[in-house]
């Protein structure tokens, strides 16, 4: 183990996968100049010994995604990066009609093995065009997979799996993760897609989260511990497919559930989680599920208004108190 | 074309606009680097002649669509710098009541329909505004959309150019060819030297102009505005310029050398080029600059003195009441 | 110069497309098949001329009006017909249907229900071929209507900037769904190939109803693309007719259907081909008759195959969604 930032860990994942498989290449706007929107590709071409495998794209999001679909159908494994999740709506056709459906519609011909990396979330006063968390949009589309890592080690293992996976994967990475440090194994490893992880054992309440919310939930759990509450934290890792078994097992154990995300609460992925829990584990519930997320508003730029859109440890703590009362 | 003779008054106005943009941006740069303004800010330094020249050819009721690098367009169209500064600071008195910030400034009272955080997001909005004015409201207002060389590779460019030319909409497409698409040199992602060449594919005029010369820009814009107002349809103007600052404040600029950029700035600074024409004496230019500097200092003071929006007003404007 | 064999093979392809689509039209009108069916009748010389210049390993991206491209690229008629019927033996096991036929074995990467959906995919396939060093090139077919999609611009720019071997084949049939060009409502530029100038791309405009013109221009573009000449990309505008409605069942309120059909009949690419071959002394009328008869038989067999085939089993609902 050694301490690495998320940026370093995922950079290594890219490098290792590109060295492992010559069909992997990376394409994004600004991927050369400053090494991507978060500097997470700096020197990648040199590191894999072929600068042609890191392509600096024109500002043409639809062509970036569509060309990845075409290249995948022709046998390559593109990793593209949207710079910010808010570029995704620009190419919804390419993602939802072309990437998601091609193989199915064609009766199993062709595989759309591609990864779409999307830094997302609120950082600091970037305004409404650079901050959305859109995972629920894509979790609603059959044919796509949606992966949302929570730490450097998770990011590396999940990114490697996403690249090797034969399906189109939308890979959301919270912008604040890139500087996060954590222990990363030295040896080769991958993390399976579709398998959640119990990030912290507990018995009184299940906090179900993913992505950046995992560290916030763990922080909340620590505080709750001091108050005598034993909180279990489930890191979903992927929201499509999502690991129902792990979630339901935790719910059956604790009987109380808080679902939290940074995305807008209305129709967020938490709605799917709480509906499923209601359908399949109702008898185990001691109190109704509490689901928290951003208010139904485009993220405002002004700092205090922006703060009201974050889902922070304090919000999780107060949600836990609600389910306990 | 007939040679235009500029009055001292016109020249003063042009210089004052350019200088206002310059000092505004210098202040933003300083404050952003000092951490007083977090978030993204993109500076227009070195490109002042384009917004100034184009907007000088417009009426106040004409409309513009701007970009993420939009402060210059906003000032040139006539926005109040105090309220602009307040917006960038996220204050209640800002043009968007603190909700938009640098990348989303708008001032509908002067026809500034918004900066845009999405590169290439403005084309079709400008075409739509032009359609409304021409076909529905039946007035002679024109729309301008500013965009960079990078944005010209967005599909939205093509769709808007096509529809504007097919329907002869009063839109002027102003390309700020600053040679850099964020961090990528323009020619790395485009096979043609001049964006204006693309006009041929839409059967409309494509004009190249020196974007550092405010008079040249004004004259090109004036011709395009006349064409648009008279119902003949759109024009594509390519203003050649250079992006002096990083893509955003804080950009490490790993992709180019600072000395080269500075050298280009010395040779092409639109304020210096203006002065070289000797239409106004240097002393007068100095006076104008001093006035602008003071106005910007006051704008900052104003922004700092204002309060943040009230938390209770948080959900206001998500929907029309 | 063409050999007799080559000429007969081009002719057979055109007739196969014609008869396949007339049968598809009949079956759709009779309600034997359902769903959206767009026929390629009248445009056969384009797919045939273009694909005659390609290898099996080259790629094509097709449109909603894609049967002709698929046949010309070498797909089998039986699974194609079965696909229209939604049968398990179809090219896509019945999951795609008319608008989503694909046949990867012959480099046909799919018809597309989204107008203008194929441009970027073709660029990607060409990029893949470059990485894989297969020497394959990529062709995207699209209509005049689709040329106004932003996806065209992004793909054309990317292909030209990166010198990728992509050929953009515009089937300009003068009408986008229900909107004719003559109204000026679709685009100001009459000559769509002018758009190639904006990307520094080699371009040709040809009579799309003349197989030989299409073939000749395509041959030159393919040579550039394969040989790495210039920026490799090309743009081929083929001017043609759409004798029938946008879709089978379209009552064509927007034009006089008899006039549209008459215009085509006077300039039918198959008749043009026959005339040219006879005038030049390359083929005899009985050659054509023999082909027509043989193709009729093949189409009848394909129809019977489709009818006799089973529908996919319910257990197939989720197959091929994920791996």
DSSP characters over A23-55: TEEEEETTTTTSSSTTSTTTTHHHHTT-GGGEE
C200 contacts chain B (CB < 8 A) = yes
Dihedral in degrees, nearest 10, Cα atoms A156, A294, A205, A274: -90
CA distance A323 to chain B (A): 26
- Contact partners, residue A82, CB within 8 Å, separation at least 6: A28, A61, A64, A88, A116, A117, A118, A119
Flag if A74 and C119 touch (Cβ within 8 Å).
no
Q: Look at residue B1 and tell me whether its pLDDT is greater than 70.
A: no
CATH superfamily for B20-306 is Thiamin diphosphate (ThDP)-binding fold, Pyr/PP domains (3.40.50.970)
Closest residue of chain B to C201, computed from CA coordinates: B191
What rounded mean pLDDT belongs to chain B?
95
Residue-range domains of chain A with CATH: 2-184 (3.40.50.970), 197-324 (3.40.50.920)
Of A60, A106, A108, the CB nearest to C319: A108
Closest residue of chain A to C59, computed from CA coordinates: A74
Domain that holds residue C84: 4-308
Closest residue of chain B to A34, computed from CA coordinates: B254
Q: Look at residue C182 and tell me whether its pLDDT is greater than 80.
A: no
Identified catalytic residue from A130, A154, A173, A232: A130
State the count of interchain CB pairs (< 8 A) between A and C.
157
- Give B-chain residues touching A90 at CB under 8 angstroms: 118
pLDDT tens for each residue of A221-266: 999 999 999 999 999 999 999 999 999 999 999 999 999 999 999 9
The interface residues of chain C toward chain A in range 187-206, judged by CB-CB distance below 8 A, are none
Q: What are phi and psi of B54, to 5 degrees?
A: -65, -50
Q: Bridge-partner residues for A171, per DSSP?
A: A117, A147
pLDDT tens for each residue of B34-71: 999 988 899 999 999 999 999 999 999 999 999 999 99
Do A289 and A270 form a contact (C-beta atoms < 8 A)?
Answer: no
Is the residue at C319 inside a domain?
no
Identified catalytic residue from A12, A29, A61, A306: A61
Counting runs of H as helices and runs of E as strands, what totals does chain B give?
A: 10, 7
A129 contacts chain B (CB < 8 A) = yes
CA distance B93 to chain A (A): 11
Closest residue of chain B to A307, computed from CA coordinates: B311
CA distance A33 to chain B (A): 5
Q: What is the pLDDT along chain A (325 residues), one digit of tens a residue?
A: 899 999 999 999 999 999 999 999 999 999 998 899 999 999 999 999 999 999 999 999 999 999 999 999 999 999 999 999 999 999 999 999 999 999 999 999 999 999 999 999 999 888 888 999 999 999 999 999 999 999 999 999 999 999 999 999 999 999 999 999 999 999 999 999 999 999 999 999 999 999 999 999 999 999 999 999 999 999 999 999 999 999 999 999 999 999 999 999 999 999 999 999 999 999 999 999 999 999 999 999 998 899 999 999 999 999 999 999 8
Q: Look at residue B185 and tell me whether its pLDDT is greater than 60.
A: yes
Nearest Cα residue to B169 out of B70, B65, B76: B65
The interface residues of chain C toward chain A in range 9-48, judged by CB-CB distance below 8 A, are none
- Give A-chain residues touching B94 at CB under 8 angstroms: 302
B319 contacts chain A (CB < 8 A) = no
- Give A-chain residues touching B150 at CB under 8 angstroms: 29, 58-59
Flag if A302 and B254 touch (Cβ within 8 Å).
no
The CA distance from C117 to C104, in Å, is 17
In this predicted structure, what is the pLDDT of residue C189?
A: 85
Q: Would you state the structure tokens that stand for residue A209, as one six-digit string?
A: 């989260």
Question: Annotated catalytic, A187?
Answer: no
- Give B-chain residues touching C148 at CB under 8 angstroms: 158-159, 162-163
The CA distance from B201 to B173, in Å, is 14
C190 contacts chain B (CB < 8 A) = yes
C104 contacts chain A (CB < 8 A) = yes
Of B97, B99, B120, the CB nearest to A59: B120
CA distance A176 to chain C (A): 31
What rounded mean pLDDT belongs to chain C?
95
Question: Annotated catalytic, A61?
Answer: yes
Q: Would you state the structure tokens that stand for residue A126, as one six-digit string?
A: 């970037």
Flag if B153 and A60 touch (Cβ within 8 Å).
yes
In this predicted structure, what is the pLDDT of residue C183?
A: 74
CA distance C253 to chain A (A): 30
C77 contacts chain A (CB < 8 A) = no
**Alpha-helical segments (H) within chain C:** 4-29, 44-51, 67-73, 77-84, 119-132, 150-161, 211-227, 257-265, 269-279, 285-308
A307 contacts chain B (CB < 8 A) = no
CA distance C69 to chain B (A): 26
Is the residue at C207 inside a domain?
yes
In this predicted structure, what is the pLDDT of residue B2?
A: 66
Instruction: Identify from C61, C93, C128 which residue to disrupt to test chain A contact, counting A C-beta atoms within 10 A and taking the largest count.
Output: C128
What's the CATH code of the domain at C117? 3.40.50.970
C151 contacts chain B (CB < 8 A) = yes
In this predicted structure, what is the pLDDT of residue A47?
A: 97
In this predicted structure, what is the pLDDT of residue C187?
A: 86
The CA distance from C75 to C120, in Å, is 23
Number of domains in chain C: 1
State the count of interchain CB pairs (< 8 A) between A and B.
133
pLDDT tens for each residue of C221-272: 999 999 988 889 999 999 999 999 999 999 999 999 999 999 999 999 999 9
Instruction: Identify from C195, C198, C199, C232 which residue to disrupt to test chain B contact, counting B C-beta atoms within 10 A and taking the largest count.
Output: C198
């Amino acid at each position: 183990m050694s301490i690495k930032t998320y940026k370093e860990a995922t950079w290594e994942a890219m490098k290792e996968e590109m060295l492992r498989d010559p069909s992997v290449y990376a394409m994004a706007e600004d991927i050369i100049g400053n090494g991507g929107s978060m500097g997470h590709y700096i020197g990648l071409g040199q590191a894999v010994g072929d600068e042609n495998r890191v392509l600096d794209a024109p500002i043409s999001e639809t062509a970036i995604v569509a060309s990845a679909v075409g290249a995948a159908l022709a046998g390559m494994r593109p990793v593209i990066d949207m710079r910010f999740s808010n570029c995704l709506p620009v190419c919804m056709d390419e993602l939802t009609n072309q990437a998601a459906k091609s193989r199915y519609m064609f009766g199993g011909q062709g595989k759309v093995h591609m990864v779409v990396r999307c830094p997302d979330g609120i950082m600091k006063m970037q305004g409404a065009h650079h901050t959305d968390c859109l995972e629920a949009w894509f979790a609603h589309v059959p044919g796509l997979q949606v992966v949302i890592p929570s730490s450097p080690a998770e990011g590396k293992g999940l990114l490697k799996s996403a690249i090797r996976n034969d399906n189109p994967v939308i890979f959301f990475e919270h912008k604040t993760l890139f500087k996060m440090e954590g222990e990363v194994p030295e040896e080769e490893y991958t993390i399976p897609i579709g398998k959640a992880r119990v990030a912290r054992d507990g018995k009184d309440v299940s906090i179900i989260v993913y992505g950046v919310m995992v560290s916030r939930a763990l922080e909340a759990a620590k505080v709750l511990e001091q108050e005598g509450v034993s909180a279990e934290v489930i890191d979903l890792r992927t929201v499509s497919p999502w690991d129902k078994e792990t979630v339901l097992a935790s719910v059956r154990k604790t009987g109380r559930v808080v679902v939290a995300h940074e995305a807008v609460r209305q129709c967020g992925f938490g709605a799917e989680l709480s509906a499923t829990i209601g359908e399949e584990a109702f008898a185990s519930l001691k109190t109704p599920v509490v689901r928290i997320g951003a208010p139904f508003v485009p993220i405002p730029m002004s700092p205090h208004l922006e703060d009201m859109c974050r889902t922070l440890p304090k919000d999780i703590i107060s949600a836990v108190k609600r389910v306990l009362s | 074309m007939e040679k235009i003779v500029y009055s001292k008054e016109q020249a003063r106005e042009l210089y004052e606009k350019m200088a206002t943009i310059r000092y505004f941006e210098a202040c933003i740069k300083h404050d952003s680097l000092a951490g007083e303004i977090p978030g993204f800010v993109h500076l227009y330094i070195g490109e002042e002649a384009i917004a100034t020249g184009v907007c000088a050819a417009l009426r106040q009721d004409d409309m513009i669509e701007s970009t993420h690098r939009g402060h210059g367009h906003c000032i040139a169209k006539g926005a109040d710098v105090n309220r602009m500064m307040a917006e960038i600071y996220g204050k209640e008195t800002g043009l968007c009541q603190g909700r938009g910030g640098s990348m989303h400034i708008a001032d509908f009272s002067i026809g500034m329909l918004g900066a845009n955080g999405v590169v290439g997001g403005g084309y079709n909005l400008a075409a739509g505004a032009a359609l409304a004015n021409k076909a529905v409201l039946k007035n002679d207002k024109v729309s301008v959309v500013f965009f960079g060389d990078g944005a010209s590779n967005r599909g939205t460019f093509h769709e808007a150019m096509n529809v504007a030319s097919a329907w002869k909409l009063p839109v002027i497409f102003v390309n700020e060819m600053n040679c850099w698409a964020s961090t990528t040199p323009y020619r790395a992602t485009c096979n043609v030297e001049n964006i204006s060449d693309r006009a041929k594919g839409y059967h409309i005029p494509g004009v190249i102009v020196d974007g550092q010369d405010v008079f040249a820009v004004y004259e090109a814009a004036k011709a395009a505005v006349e064409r648009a107002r008279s119902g003949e349809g759109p024009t594509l103007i390519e203003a050649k310029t250079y992006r002096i600052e990083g893509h955003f404040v804080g950009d490490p600029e790993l992709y180019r050398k600072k000395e080269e950029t500075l050298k280009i700035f010395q040779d092409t600074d639109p304020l210096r080029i203006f002065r070289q024409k000797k239409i106004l004496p240097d002393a007068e230019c100095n006076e104008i600059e001093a006035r602008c500097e003071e106005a910007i200092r006051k704008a900052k003071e104003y922004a700092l003195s204002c309060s943040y929006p009230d938390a209770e007003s948080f959900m206001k404007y998500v929907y029309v009441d | 110069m063409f050999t007799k064999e080559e000429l007969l093979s081009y002719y057979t392809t055109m007739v196969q497309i014609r008869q396949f689509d007339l049968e598809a039209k009949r079956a759709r009108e009779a309600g034997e098949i359902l769903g959206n069916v767009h026929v390629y009748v009248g445009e056969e010389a384009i797919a045939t001329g273009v694909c005659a210049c390609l290898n099996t390993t080259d790629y094509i991206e097709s449109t909603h009006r894609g049967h002709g491209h698929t046949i010309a690229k070498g797909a089998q008629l039986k699974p194609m017909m079965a696909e229209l019927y939604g049968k398990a033996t179809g090219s896509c096991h019945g999951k795609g249907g008319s608008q989503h036929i694909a046949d990867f074995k012959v480099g046909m990467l799919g018809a597309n229900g989204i107008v203008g959906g194929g441009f970027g995919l073709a660029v990607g396939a060409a990029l893949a071929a470059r990485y894989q060093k297969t020497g394959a090139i990529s062709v995207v077919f699209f209509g005049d209507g689709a040329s106004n999609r932003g996806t065209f611009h992004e793909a054309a720019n990317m292909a030209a900037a990166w010198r990728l071997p992509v050929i953009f084949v515009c089937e300009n049939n003068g009408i986008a769904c229900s909107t004719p060009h003559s109204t000026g409502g679709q685009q100001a530029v009459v000559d769509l190939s002018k758009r190639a100038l904006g990307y520094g791309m080699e371009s040709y405009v040809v009579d799309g109803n003349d197989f030989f013109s299409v073939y000749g221009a395509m041959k030159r573009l393919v040579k550039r693309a394969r040989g790495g000449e210039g920026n490799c990309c090309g743009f081929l505008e083929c001017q043609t007719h759409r004798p029938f409605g946008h879709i089978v069942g379209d009552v064509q309120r927007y034009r006089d259907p008899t006039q549209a059909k008459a215009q085509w009949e006077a300039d039918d690419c198959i008749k043009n081909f026959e005339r040219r071959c006879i005038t030049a002394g390359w083929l005899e009328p009985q050659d054509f008759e023999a082909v027509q008869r043989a193709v009729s038989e093949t189409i009848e067999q394909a129809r019977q195959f489709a009818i006799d085939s089973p529908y996919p089993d319910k257990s197939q609902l989720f197959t091929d969604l994920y791996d």
